[in-house]
Structure 1
Amino acid sequence: MNGASPRWRSILDQNSPVRQWDGEFLVFNPRNASTHLIGAAAYEVMSALIAARQALTLPELAAQLVGAEAADAAFHAELGQCLEQFEDLGLAESLPA
């Protein structure tokens, strides 16, 4: 492996069904007909991936969410865990850099 950061993209799009209840979001994955309940912070991450016109590296996504200066190592670690959970759920996929 070359050590380059993978690029991330959502498998959902702008038209994917989403419903909000009390600060949480119900997200439907049409690829496998599964439904997931995610928190507001996770949905903010998902929304940024959906809005991106191309797959993003973790640092690019972090900069979009909180700004490059505010995205410290702890934020990167938490964001990385969120992206890995999305991938496990089939809501996002990582692509080679």
Structure 2
Amino acid sequence: MHAAFVLLFAVTPDAVLAQGRRPVGLPSIPEEIAESYRGRLDAMQQRLLGEPYLLTRRLTRTAVGRLVLHGPPGDPPHADIHLVVHKSGAAVWEVWLVAPT
């Protein structure tokens, strides 16, 4: 397992309207990576908050794309971006990066 960190950026509710449309020039996140991400988060929420919380589906997560980064050796090669939307309409961009070595 690699160390990683996440950045959160609040977005306006109209960003949700673009859900499902990948920005031009942003490659998709490989499905096995996106599936692993969702599975790990669901497992963590189930352990911490319980099955009833998961069943309410308060949060939806959509894989937006992978941003290729061009930095020096040891820096993360890419950042995976997900749109997280609460059923109230609040939304954040969730940006995952492998920790620099």
- Name which one, 1 or 2, has greater alpha-carbon Rg: 2
TM-score by length of 1: 0.29
Would you tell me which structure has more strand in proportion to its own residues? 2
With structure 2 as the length reference, what TM-score do the two structures score? 0.28
